[in-house]
Amino acid sequence: MHDTSDKLDSNPSHNPCPSEPHQHYKIFKPHGSLSQFVPETRKSKPLLGELAHFPAGIMAIGRLDHDSEGLLLLTTDGMVSHRVRSKKVEKEYYVQIDGDIDAEAITRLRQGVEIGIKGEKYLTLPCKVNKLEGEPELPGNGRKARDPRHGSLSWISITISEGKNRQIRKMTAAAGFPTMRLVRVRIGNIMLDNMQPGDVIELSKITSIL
């Protein structure tokens, strides 16, 4: 699965009826669920279709891997999906990392780090990275928090405009600070806001973020 895949969900729920107007949604993908409507394996993990009754032809715009959570957009319009997945639209994440990150590591992340993509070395594009003061206000995800006695944790925000396989996790690991929790909070100007895991909100349009 992916953190921020450029890959369109290959399993839309049904074929859309061309005479019907397109519909768009934002959801809070819960930790442990898959960013798809049809299972690709026999593993029993929750699917997007279990969150609500969606229209025919609905598809996820990109993906979050099953260990990641937060904002995910759905649409019945393939052209909108293609535009949102382009490198012109920013995606912002709150990332809890193992250790107290320093200025040097933040600079490395901003400038680009080398990660592995499909067995090849890849240098990530420059991006926005900032250390957060304290823990952001996010709902719990059902996982037990690590005892502080086992090591310090810190939070950063990372804003990228590309989306490689498990990119955020690979970036923080390359900088020496493995990801402990990953929450997408913004796509373009669409925010996660105060949504809770599993929430579904219909949007009047998505094109305003392009």
Strongest mean pLDDT among 8-17, 18-27, 53-62: 53-62
Number of compact structural domains in the chain: 2
Q: Are 131 and 182 contained in the same domain? A: yes
Q: Is 199 a catalytic residue?
A: no
For 122, the domain range is 91-187
Q: What is the pLDDT of residues 139-180, one digit of tens each?
A: 988 777 677 677 899 999 999 999 888 999 999 999 999 999
Please report, for the domain that includes residue 62, its CATH number.
3.30.70.580
For 125-182, the DSSP string reads PP-EEEE-SS-------SPPPPPGGG--EEEEEEEES---TTHHHHHHHHTT--EEEE
Burial 95-133 (b: 16+ CB within 10 A, else e): bbbbbebeeebbebbeeebebeeeeeebebeebebeeee
**Which is nearest to 133 in space by CA: 100, 86, 178?**
100
Does the pLDDT of residue 1 top 50, yes or no? no
Please report, for the domain that includes residue 131, its CATH number.
3.30.70.1560
Decide if 161 is inside a domain. Answer: yes
Decide if 64 is inside a domain. Answer: yes
Q: Are 115 and 173 contained in the same domain? A: yes
Q: Which of 3, 65, 77, 98 is catalytic?
A: 65
Does the pLDDT of residue 38 top 70, yes or no? yes
- pLDDT over 70 percentage in the chain: 85
